[in-house]
Copies of this chain bind each other. A is one copy, B any other.
Amino acid sequence: MTTPGAGTPLTVGIDIGGTNIRASVVDGTGEVLDTVQYPTPHSAVALESALDRAVRELADRHTLDAVGLAAAGFISRDRTTVRFAPHLPWRDAPVAKRLSERLGLPVLLEHDANAAMWAEYRFGAAAGGHNVVLIAIGTGIGAALLLDGELYRGTHGIAPELGHLQVVPQGRDCGCGKRGCWERYCSGTALAETAIELLATESATSPLAREIVADPGALTGRRVADAAHDDDPLAARVMADFARWLGLGLAFVGDIFDPDLVVIAGGVSSSAPLFLDEAREEYAAAVTGHGHRPLARIRTTQLGEAAGMIGAAELARSALIAGH
């Protein structure tokens, strides 16, 4: 007698975040069997040692066949090298090859949004989709594309960059050097900034307004979402503004890809009841040819923060089976 998932290779998926690295053993059904977590070291050498250590710790308890890494940044098209990662110490680093040599296991590298998309497609909110756009809304916006049932990585392996589409000429300054980028209006960071902007032009005496006046620097997107949940009127206006920008972006995505499904992920997605219906309406009104075309379904993530890890593990498993 065998348990479900047994007999398939077990692989490790590692989400390499700017703060923590989390490594999980995942089976062929997408189930997470075991997880370890370390703080992310600040040097490339220490980071690679930490990855090595995480896998070895899991290998003590499981028979492992391959490793998948998920990282935010520019990944080479052959998925061996991190070209540039804003929150990690790697620059043109052949990470997959180096870790594979240390561990004696196949190692695959993937952009974290692509890995999350793959997990949602195989085991989550994107199951059954054909043309799917994943929009991960947190501090900024990450995105991934599944087109005709395959991850689309572009010519140079650079995942789709939707967060820095300029939606407002001469708009809010962005860390990317441009102005008016979509993620400056539609992200957790933007929630706080919109609240402060609204308060600068309109008087408001809600609990959130008083907090901002007392200490504007302490305001977070999370706090705005919580206040909106508690029916704070200022926070409600911020969420309505956010919903409009999200709907506009969904219309962009609809115009460009004509997807059957959009998955909203990232930290802000947990507040979806506060904005998703309004965003859907804005999208339906703003997509070109509205009334003459079917609309995409819009869903929220099922796998949440584990998606990148699960997807990296599943991609490593698929590559192993395909003999790559």
Q: Which residues of A contact B (CB under 8 A)?
A: 74, 83-84, 130-131, 147-148, 150, 152-158, 160-169, 176, 178, 248, 251-252, 255-260, 286, 288-289, 292-294, 296
Contact = CB atoms under 8 A, between A and B. Distances in A.
A198 B162 CA distance: 32
Given A83-B292, A84-B289, A161-B255, 18 more contacts: A74-B293, A84-B292, A130-B155, A147-B152, A148-B150, A148-B152, A155-B259, A155-B294, A156-B293, A156-B294, A160-B255, A164-B255, A165-B252, A165-B255, A165-B256, A166-B167, A168-B169, A178-B286
Contacts of A178: 286, 288
A257 to B, nearest CB: 6
A286 to B, nearest CB: 6
A116 to B, nearest CB: 18
Nearest to A131: B155
A316 to B, nearest CB: 22
Nearest to A257: B154
Contacts of A259: 154-155
Given A74-B293, A150-B148, A165-B252, A155 B260 contact: yes
A122 to B, nearest CB: 19
Contacts of A155: 130-131, 258-260, 294, 296
> Do most interface residues of chain A lie in helix, strand or loop, or is the interface mixed?
loop
Q: State how many copies of this chain the complex holds.
A: 2
Contacts of A169: 167-168
Nearest to A178: B286
A251 B169 CA distance: 14
A31 to B, nearest CB: 30
A289 B158 contact: yes
21 contacts: A74-B289, A83-B292, A130-B155, A131-B154, A131-B155, A153-B258, A154-B257, A154-B258, A155-B294, A156-B294, A158-B258, A160-B255, A160-B256, A160-B257, A160-B258, A161-B255, A161-B288, A163-B288, A164-B255, A164-B288, A176-B289
Contacts of A158: 258, 289, 293
A311 B256 CA distance: 22
Contacts of A147: 147, 152
A252 B181 CA distance: 11
A39 to B, nearest CB: 26
Closest 3 CB pairs of A and B: A154-B258, A164-B288, A161-B255
Nearest to A292: B84
A307 to B, nearest CB: 22
Contacts of A130: 155
A237 B169 CA distance: 19
A256 B161 contact: yes
Nearest to A158: B258
A229 to B, nearest CB: 28
Given A155-B296, A166-B251, A289 B257 contact: no
